[in-house]
């Protein structure tokens, strides 16, 4: 018994007409009739009652059709699963990230992923947290690396690490000792920071830190990229307060960083993906990427 025998039987059982079934199968009627006879001989049972006016299923035929329908349904489901697995292994993975997150772990994970999923195409997009959340919900991104909070009940969120803050000043800025000394210096400096609409939570953190140090910042320049902020600081356009992870991003910049971990104010970096997604590549990446932070 071959799969074509089952397909021929299924089609005749649905049409209850040999000529119509033959047309649907794109074969002539005599070979179709012969295939059905061969199937009946192998089963040792009549599947159809035939006369000049109509074709009907025998009780054995009714039972056999039910079983064959189940076989084809399972085959269709298996085909879909195989297709999904193939797409997961050789399709496209879209990852969003924010410019202020530390990239070494991301690059290490992507190098490892290339070995496990050699046919997978990975695309990276630098996008702010708020827009990442929307893109993930709409299926435009598969994974997002961002800063908490993530306000969405559609997403699964994994905490990666808590990032303290640092003051970024030009290399030739005066030496600062202690929080109060830093506050007195910063109160008189122009600030460079992310746009409030681009990173609202970040902006709120900046104000909170400055108020803890006894002043309200005068934000004179805004940018939507951490590298742009640091370049302006390097050239003396002002100072900034940023997550400490950025210190290792641009080692060639002439900038001095002052640790603010004593304030105990941090920014949580998280990974997010849509909760309903079943994707082997996403599952592998999230586990491996998170593991990099647990071992470093």
Scored b (16 or more CB within 10 A) or e, 175-197 reads ebeeeeebbebbeebebbbbeee
pLDDT (tens digit per residue) in 232-263: 999 999 999 998 888 878 888 999 999 988 88
Beta bridge partners of 74: none
* Ranges of H-type helices in the chain: 3-15, 18-25, 29-43, 59-90, 104-116, 129-137, 179-186, 200-212, 226-234, 280-294
pLDDT bin (cut points 50, 70, 90) of residue 87 is low
pLDDT score, position 263 = 87
Mean pLDDT, all residues of the chain: 87
pLDDT bin (cut points 50, 70, 90) of residue 88 is low
pLDDT score, position 100 = 73
CA 93 centroid distance within chain: 7
pLDDT score, position 44 = 92
Cβ neighbours for 246, distance < 8 A, ≥ 6 positions apart? 100, 102, 166, 168, 226, 230
Q: Do domains 3-89 and 98-296 have the same CATH topology?
A: no
| Cα–Cα distance for residue pair 134/199, rounded to 1 Å | 14
| Cα–Cα distance for residue pair 254/268, rounded to 1 Å | 27
pLDDT score, position 110 = 93
DSSP string, 34-80: HHHHHHHHHHTS--EEE-SS-EEE-HHHHHHHHHHHHHHHHHHHHHH
Domain positions in the chain: 3-89, 98-296
pLDDT bin (cut points 50, 70, 90) of residue 293 is confident
Cβ neighbours for 39, distance < 8 A, ≥ 6 positions apart? 1, 5, 8, 9, 47
Phi-psi region of 16 (alpha: psi -120 to 50; beta: other; left: phi over 0): left
- 3-89: CATH topology: Arc Repressor Mutant, subunit A (1.10.10)
- pTM attached to this predicted model: 0.64
pLDDT score, position 278 = 66
Task: Fill in the DSSP letter of residue 100.
Answer: T
pLDDT score, position 233 = 95
Q: Burial, 156: exposed, middle or buried (Cβ in 10 Å; 0-12, 13-18, 19+)? A: middle
pLDDT (tens digit per residue) in 6-34: 899 899 999 998 889 899 989 999 999 99
pLDDT bin (cut points 50, 70, 90) of residue 89 is low
pLDDT (tens digit per residue) in 103-150: 788 889 999 999 888 888 899 998 988 899 999 999 999 999 998 989
| Cα–Cα distance for residue pair 17/13, rounded to 1 Å | 8
Q: Is the pLDDT of residue 177 over 90?
A: no
- 98-296: CATH topology: D-Maltodextrin-Binding Protein; domain 2 (3.40.190)
Least confident segment among 46-60, 92-106, 224-238, 278-292: 92-106
| Neighbouring C-alpha atoms within 13 Å toward the C-beta of 121 | 4
Scored b (16 or more CB within 10 A) or e, 204-217 reads ebbeebbeebeeeb
């Amino acid at each position: 018994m071959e799969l074509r025998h089952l397909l021929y039987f299924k089609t005749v059982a649905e049409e209850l007409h040999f000529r119509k079934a033959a047309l649907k199968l794109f074969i002539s009627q005599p070979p179709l009739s012969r295939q059905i006879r061969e199937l009946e001989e192998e089963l040792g049972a009549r599947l159809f009652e035939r006369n000049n006016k109509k074709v009907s299923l025998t009780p054995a035929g009714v039972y056999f059709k039910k079983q064959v329908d189940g076989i084809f349904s399972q085959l269709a489901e298996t085909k879909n699963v195989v297709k999904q697995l193939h797409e997961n292994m050789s399709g496209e993975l879209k990852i969003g990230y924010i410019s202020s997150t530390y990239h070494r772990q991301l690059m290490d994970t992507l190098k490892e992923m290339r070995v496990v999923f050699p046919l997978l195409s990975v695309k990276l997009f630098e996008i702010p947290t708020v827009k990442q959340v929307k893109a993930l919900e709409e299926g435009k991104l598969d994974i997002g690396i961002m800063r908490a909070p993530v306000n969405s009940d559609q997403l699964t969120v994994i905490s990666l690490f808590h990032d303290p803050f640092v003051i970024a000043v030009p290399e030739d800025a005066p030496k600062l000792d202690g929080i109060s000394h830093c506050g007195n210096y910063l109160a008189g400096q122009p600030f460079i920071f992310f746009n409030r609409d681009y990173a609202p939570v970040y902006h709120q953190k900046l104000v909170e830190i400055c108020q803890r140090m006894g002043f309200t910042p005068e934000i004179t320049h805004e940018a939507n990229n951490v590298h742009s902020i640091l370049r302006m600081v390097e050239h003396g356009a002002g100072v900034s307060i940023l997550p400490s992870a950025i210190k290792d991003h641009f080692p060639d910049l002439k900038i001095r960083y002052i640790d603010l971990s004593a304030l105990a104010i941090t920014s949580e970096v998280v990974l997010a993906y849509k909760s309903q997604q079943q994707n082997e590549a996403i599952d592998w990446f999230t586990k491996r990427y998170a593991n990099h932070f647990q071992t470093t």
